[in-house]
Amino acid sequence: MFSSFLFSLLPVLTTGSKAKVKQGKSEEWKRFYEIYDRRATNDLSHFQRIMVPTSFGDTHVFVGGNQESQHTAVFFHGVRATSLMWGKVAQDDGLLARRKIILIDYITDVGRSLPTRAGPSDAAEHAQWLREILNHLDQQDSPRCVQQRRRSLFETKK
């Protein structure tokens, strides 16, 4: 249901790569957020939701797991998805016991993040964006990053 609704938003939200409607401002976005929030409540109620201010806009993250752990796993979602795709993984008791878990809604994709300018366009900007998030969360260790995207977040566009 959620993914089919997400894909139904695409014609409303984009023309090529230019947004037609400012994210979060239309009736379609309001409906999307209602579904998103319901899913977050069901699947990630044991996580804290945080809006992290970055130079690219406010990035929505879920933080959970073992907050005392020296090991962190950061999860990035796939294209035209949200951090909610990691709901089942984030319920793994073994993982939650061993690691601090950070689920990120990518800044220029659908989800609760609200971009204020163009998103990261190369490896340096992606690293900057991630550093800003981790610094805000006072993250000291070097996390392991897990992603579900077609290209690496740290691969430059050609």
Look over the chain and give the mean of its residue pLDDT values, rounded to a whole number.
79
Distance of CA 12 to the CA centre of its chain: 21
Residue 154 lies in a domain: no
Q: What CATH number is associated with residue 57?
A: 3.40.50.1820
* pLDDT at residue 18 is higher than 70: no
Q: Which domain holds residue 70?
A: 2-147
Residue 156 lies in a domain: no
Residue 139 lies in a domain: yes
Give pLDDT tens digits for 111-145: 899 888 888 888 899 889 999 999 999 876 667 66
Residue 155 lies in a domain: no
Q: How many residues does the chain have?
A: 158
The SS3 call for residue 46 is: coil
Helix and strand element counts for the chain (H, E):
4, 8
The total domain count for the chain is 1
